[in-house]
Structure 1
Amino acid sequence: MAKTVSFGVMHVSVAFTLVWLMTGDVMLGGAVAMIEPLVNTIAYYFHEKFWSRRQVGATATG
């Protein structure tokens, strides 16, 4: 669990720092740092769902 939390903190920190450095806007950096991981989490769910279905289909036909 600690590894997951530390990765999450690193991810948010990188997102914030990159946007802040690119735009010079701390508020925008903070907004992106909060929104981007949320969107990635949702995208990851659908990504896993797609690959799970693909794997079940391959098992059924193979």
Structure 2
Amino acid sequence: MLKTITFACMHFSIAFGVVYLMTGSVLIGGAVALVEPAVNTIAFYFHEKVWQRVERRKQLQLRPNTPIMQA
């Protein structure tokens, strides 16, 4: 979860900076910096969970007699 939070902080900063440079508006930059990274952070969390499942299945394929456990 700490990885997700630090990613969110970085993403908020980048989103604000890019939109502010494009528009010159602190209000629009702030709005985009709140909405877009928040949605992206949630998507990132689930993306990580999917990849963890993929990696687990790869490991289990190396051991064909091991049953697949559902998370």
Q: How many residues align?
A: 58
Counterpart check, 1:31 vs 2:31: yes
Provide runs of 4+ in structure 1 moved above 6 Å: none
Question: 1:20 aligns to what SS in structure 2?
Answer: helix
1 CA distance for matches of 2:53 and 2:38? 23
Distance 1:11 1:41, change over 3 A: closer
Q: Cα deviation per residue 1:17-52 (whole Å; 9 max; x = unaligned)?
A: 210110222221011111122112111111111111
Gaps of 5+ in 2: 63-71
With the length of structure 1 as denominator, give the TM-score of the two structures: 0.70
CA RMSD of aligned residues (A): 2.3
Structure with higher Rg: it is 2
2 CA distance for matches of 1:13 and 1:45? 19
2 CA distance for matches of 1:43 and 1:31? 19
Gaps of 5+ in 1: none
With the length of structure 2 as denominator, give the TM-score of the two structures: 0.63
